[in-house]
Structure formats: C-alpha cells, structure tokens
C-alpha cells in the first residue's frame, strides 16, 4: 500500500518492487481488494491482461494513519484527467509501462508533467543525474497520417519538442516501430529513443537504446 501511495498504478510494478509473483501476489491483492483497500481494473493488451490498481478512499485513509505518509494521486487517475486515458487506454498503459521501466533503472518519473509552453504536452518527464528529459510515448502504427489542416500534427510535435528541450525523446512499443520513427527523426534533430519490448526483455539495459547527435550520418546523406 505504501507503493500505491506513491502513485504507482501498475500491479506488475508493485509485484516487482515487493519481490512477489504468482500465487503470493494473487493472495495479497485478492485480500486488499476484498477488504476494500484497493481497486483494480484489468486491461487486455495483445496476448496479456494487466492490472491497474489504486488505493480506495478507505485504503488511502488507512495508509496515512498507519504509515504517516502523504498519498499521491495515482498515475492512472492523472492520465484519466489529463490524457483521456479511458478512451485511449493503449496509450495510457504504454505510458505507465514506460514509467515503470524508467523507475526500475533509477530514473525519477513524473507522468503528464506541467510545462510552461502551450505547444508541447509531454507524456512523461524522467530525471537522473544531470539528465532531464521530456518524453513522447508513441503507440500509433501510422502516426504521420494524422493531419491538421495544411500541416502535419505529427511533424509539428517533434519540431516543438526539439525547440522546447533541445532534442527529441521518444518511446515506442517495438524495435520495428522505433526504427521507423528514427528514419524521420535522425534526419532532422538530435535525440534519444527507446522501446518497451527490449526494455522488458533486457531489464539491465540502459533506458535509452539509441542516442544521437545532429547533424549525423543520416542527415548528411539524406537517408529516408
């Protein structure tokens, strides 16, 4: 419950941090749910189903009294309020999963961070040492097909992100999708990139699977 009080919403992250899995995890969460301390929603994603959990009002009151700690809003609730998570559940879940992998690698994480710039709405802020990076989590298969008048929403997003923080930063679902986006981004901007499939398979990897400067070999030869 102390982990949930931090705002963590993915059951798999709670299990990882507690070092429990399988039957032990099921018994714990079944008890917390039955006693009214925790609520859970199940999100089917590809071939798997993931649990999104949060403290109930009863659970929050108990945690504050028992442990004397503040209760942060759950990251899922933040995404519902600021990112329309109930309608775009796949995107919201990908943001939560990226947040989990970032924390697992020692990064401090803020979901839907406030910024003093009307042109950018970053999904996540991650910080570690001197690195402070606002990240876009990309889940669409063909995002460049989304248009807004004569300009392309997808194109503007990356230009605005680079202008805001001096580089682009993206997380995708798979290696293939990451490389597809990088074919566009490396031509134009410096940045960092990662994807959730490799982060899950290689828990000891760096958070950023690609880092590049600009200009680079791709921009100089006009690779597309």
Bridge partner list, 132: 127
Write down the pLDDT at residue 30.
96
Write down the pLDDT at residue 54.
96
- Residues whose CB falls within 8 Å of the CB of residue 39, separated by 6 or more in sequence, listed in order: 33, 53, 54, 55, 56
Joined together, the tokens standing for residue 216 give: 């680079």
> What is the C-alpha to C-alpha distance for residues 194 and 199, in angstroms, rounded to an integer?
8
* Nearest Cα to Cα of residue 69 among 49, 55, 50, 81: 55
> Which domains, ranges and CATH numbers included, belong to the chain?
1-72 (1.10.10.10), 76-224 (3.40.1350)
Write down the pLDDT at residue 210.
97
Q: Mind listing the pLDDT tens digit of every residue in the chain (224 residues)?
A: 899 999 999 999 999 999 999 999 999 999 999 999 999 999 887 677 889 999 999 999 999 999 999 999 999 999 999 988 888 989 999 999 999 999 999 999 999 999 999 999 999 999 999 999 999 999 976 555 554 444 568 889 999 999 999 999 999 999 999 999 999 999 999 999 999 999 999 999 999 999 999 877 766 666 55
Write down the pLDDT at residue 71.
96
Joined together, the tokens standing for residue 131 give: 């690195």
> What is the C-alpha to C-alpha distance for residues 135 and 140, in angstroms, rounded to an integer?
15
Biggest CA-to-CA distance, the chain: 62
Name the DSSP letter for residue 118: T
Write down the pLDDT at residue 149.
44
- Residues whose CB falls within 8 Å of the CB of residue 2, separated by 6 or more in sequence, listed in order: 63, 67, 69
């Amino acid at each position: 419950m102390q982990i949930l009080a931090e705002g963590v919403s993915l059951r798999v992250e709670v299990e990882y941090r507690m070092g429990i899995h399988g039957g032990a995890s099921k018994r714990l969460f079944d008890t917390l749910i039955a006693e009214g301390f925790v609520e859970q929603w199940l999100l089917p994603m590809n071939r798997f189903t993931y649990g999104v959990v949060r403290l109930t009002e009863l659970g929050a009151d108990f945690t504050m009294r028992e442990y004397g700690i503040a209760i942060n809003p759950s990251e899922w609730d933040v995404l519902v309020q600021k990112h329309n998570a109930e309608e775009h559940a796949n995107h919201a879940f990908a943001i939560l999963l990226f947040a989990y992998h970032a924390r697992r690698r020692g990064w401090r994480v803020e979901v839907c961070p406030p910024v003093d710039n009307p042109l950018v709405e970053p999904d996540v802020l991650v910080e570690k040492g001197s690195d402070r990076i606002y990240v876009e989590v990309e889940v669409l298969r063909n995002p460049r097909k989304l248009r807004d008048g004569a300009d392309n929403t997808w194109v503007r997003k990356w230009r605005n992100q680079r202008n805001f923080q001096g580089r682009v930063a993206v997380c995708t679902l798979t290696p293939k999708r990451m490389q597809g986006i990088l074919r566009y981004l490396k031509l134009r901007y410096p940045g960092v990139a990662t994807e959730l499939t490799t982060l899950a398979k290689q828990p000891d990897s760096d958070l950023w699977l690609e880092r590049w400067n600009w200009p680079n070999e791709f921009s100089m030869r006009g690779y597309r």
